[in-house]
Amino acid sequence: MKYEQIERAARYLNERFTKTPKIGLILGSGLGVLADEIEEPVKIPYNEIPDFPVSTVEGHAGQLVYGGLSGQEVVAMQGRFHFYEGYDFDKVTFPVRVMKELGVEILIVTNAAGGVNESFKAGDLMIITDHINNMGGNPLIGPNDSRMGPRFPDMSEAYSRDLRQLAKEIAGKISINVQEGVYVGNTGPTYETPAEVRLARVLGGDAVGMSTVPEVIVARHGGMKVLGISCISNMAAGILDQPLSHDEVMETTELVRANFLSYVKEIVKS
């Protein structure tokens, strides 16, 4: 995406929202309800924003929600764009570029993911410590516009150490059990085969998903700090003797929703 397109989308949004959001939230499958808790919300459907992609999957409302959450100014993506829907990485990550342009400094990314670590169980929350890009591409491929970030971004702290530490402390404080681990980003839309899940484990992965990695790469390119939280909605294939279904993913997310909501709100407050 050209810088001018990012500026144009940001200008459109700035005309509708006077305060500067310092925190951006990307809400994954079944987790979009968090945006319903935003106070004095200004909701802007994606299809009204210049050059914004429009989301297709059910369970994703497809709007930006600005407003107050736990005393902070935030902007939340209620529904994200996935590579498997047919959007290229440029489209998938455009909203992150726009958030940066709006003044967002901290990005909180959430997702539903399959558990690869055999000590996990469905319903666990996981602080993402790091990721493995297994999506076969990188959103930064192409000419680099140095107004957006460096040609060769450092990824040694893709997920901010400080924010991870804070997230851990808060989990303890409000007695939420939280795992930590490495997120492996696959393209989907198929879930992994049992052999692919073993591969992810050998590679050092603790969870597998179909999102997050492109957005985090672009956020780091732009110098934002990132915190990632996965909801382990199910165990990945071959661990339990049962097939996976999207319905199960949504059901589990619904069960942990209350926990997830209070956790993220507490993090935003701090």
Which residues are catalytic, by number? 29, 60, 82, 84-85, 112, 210-211, 234, 246
Determine, following the binding rule CB under 6 A, whether residue 200 of this chain makes contact with ligand 6GU.
no
Token representation of residue 152: 């060769």
Nearest distance from C-beta of residue 161 to ligand 6GU, angstroms: 26
Q: Which is nearer to ligand 6GU, 33 or 42 (CB)?
A: 33
Residues of this chain, 223-262, that bind ligand 6GU according to CB under 6 A: 233-234, 236, 244, 249
Task: State which amino acid sits at residue 260.
Answer: F
Binds ligand 6GU (CB under 6 A): choice among 81, 191, 260, 263: 191
Q: Which of 103, 43, 106 is nearest to 79 (CA)?
A: 43
Strands 125-133 and 178-185: parallel
Q: For helices 213-221 and 89-102, give the axis angle rounded to 10 degrees.
A: 40
Contact code string over 99-138 relative to ligand 6GU, x by CB under 6 A: -------------xxx------------------------
Q: Which is nearer to ligand 6GU, 117 or 234 (CB)?
A: 234
Judge if the upstream peptide bond of residue 41 is cis by omega within 30 degrees of 0: no
Judge whether 233 and 113 are in contact, CB under 8 Å: yes
Determine, following the binding rule CB under 6 A, whether residue 212 of this chain makes contact with ligand 6GU.
no
Judge whether 223 and 172 are in contact, CB under 8 Å: no
Q: Which is nearer to ligand 6GU, 22 or 246 (CB)?
A: 246
Nearest distance from C-beta of residue 236 to ligand 6GU, angstroms: 4
Tally of CB atoms within 10 A around 206: 25
Residues paired with residue 237 on neighbouring β-strands, in sequence order: 240
How far is CA 101 from its chain centroid?
A: 18
The residue whose Cβ lies closest to ligand 6GU is 114
DSSP summary character for residue 38? -
Binds ligand 6GU (CB under 6 A): choice among 63, 93, 110, 186: 186
* 3-class DSSP state of 45: strand
Judge whether 130 and 140 are in contact, CB under 8 Å: no
Q: Which is nearer to ligand 6GU, 33 or 244 (CB)?
A: 244
Nearest distance from C-beta of residue 232 to ligand 6GU, angstroms: 8
Residues lying near ligand 6GU in the complex (CB under 6 A) are found at 112-114, 186, 188, 191-192, 208-210, 233-234, 236, 244, 249
